Amino acid sequence: MSYQYRNLTRSDLGKWVNFHTIVYGANHILNDLPYIKWFLGSSPDSLDQEYETLIATTETGEIAGTYGVLPAKLRIRDEIFSFCWYVSGMVHPDHRNKGIGKKFVDILLDKFDFCGVISFNEGVRRNYERFGFHFFENRTLRRYIKILNSSAFDLVEKIGFDKTQAAIDFPVQKALKQEENDRCALVFAFEKDVVECVNAMRPRVKCMIVRSSDFLNWRYILNPRIHYEIFAIIDKGSWKSYIVARREQFQPTNIYGSRVIDMAGKLDNVIPLLKKIENNARERGDSFIDYSFTGNYFEECLNDLHYKELIGTNYGIFPLVSSPIEKRENHEYICIGSKKYDEKLKDITFSDLYFTRGDADRDRANRPY
Note whether 191 and 305 are same-domain residues: yes
Mark whether 147 and 293 lie in a shared domain: yes
- pLDDT tens for 8-64 read 999 999 999 999 988 888 888 888 889 999 999 999 998 877 899 999 999 999 999
Q: State the pLDDT confidence band at 227, using cuts at 50, 70 and 90.
A: very high
Identify whether residues 57 and 190 lie together within a single domain: no
Cis peptide before 71 (omega within 30 of 0): no
Q: Are residues 288 and 206 in the same domain?
A: yes
Residue 369 has a pLDDT of: 47
Say if pTM beats, i.e. exceeds, 0.85: yes
- In this prediction, residue 43 carries a pLDDT of 93
CATH of residue 95: 3.40.630.30
pLDDT the model gives residue 221? 97
Please give the average per-residue pLDDT across 65-72, as a whole number.
96
- Domain end position, chosen among 92, 109, 137: 137
The total number of structural domains in the chain stands at 2
Domain assignment present for residue 21? The answer is yes
Q: Are residues 104 and 199 in the same domain?
A: no
Percent of the residues in the chain that have a pLDDT greater than 70, as a whole number: 98
Task: Decide which of 91, 112, 137 is a domain's last residue.
Answer: 137
Read off the pLDDT band of 124 (50, 70, 90): confident
Question: Are 20 and 165 within one domain?
Answer: no
Instruction: Tell me, yes or no, whether 369 lies in a domain.
Output: no
Q: Does residue 255 lie within any of the structural domains?
A: yes
Mean pLDDT computed over every residue of the chain: 94
Q: Which of 44-58, 74-88, 108-122, 128-142 has the lowest mean pLDDT?
A: 44-58
Whether the pLDDT of residue 178 is over 80: the answer is no
Give the pLDDT of residue 224: 95
Residue 354 placed within a domain: no
Range of the domain at 281: 142-330
Shared domain for 169 and 128, answered yes or no, is no
48 in the same domain as 107: yes
pLDDT average, residue stretch 315-343:
96
On whether residue 368 sits in a domain, the answer given is no
Are 89 and 182 found together in one domain? Answer: no
Arithmetic mean of pLDDT, 297-322: 97
Task: Please tell me the predicted confidence (pLDDT) of residue 181.
Answer: 58
State whether 165 and 184 are in the same domain.
yes
Q: Assess whether pLDDT exceeds 60 at residue 180.
A: no
Query: Based on the domain organization, do 113 and 168 belong to the same domain?
Result: no
Question: Is residue 83 in some structural domain?
Answer: yes
Question: Is there a single domain that holds both residue 65 and residue 155?
Answer: no
The mean pLDDT of 135-161, rounded to a whole number, is 98
Average the pLDDT over 275-286 and give the result.
97
Q: How confident is the model at residue 332 (pLDDT cuts 50, 70, 90)?
A: very high
Question: Average pLDDT for residues 262-275, to the nearest whole number?
Answer: 97
Q: Residue 111 falls within a domain, yes or no?
A: yes
Asked, for residue 117, whether it belongs to a domain, the answer is yes
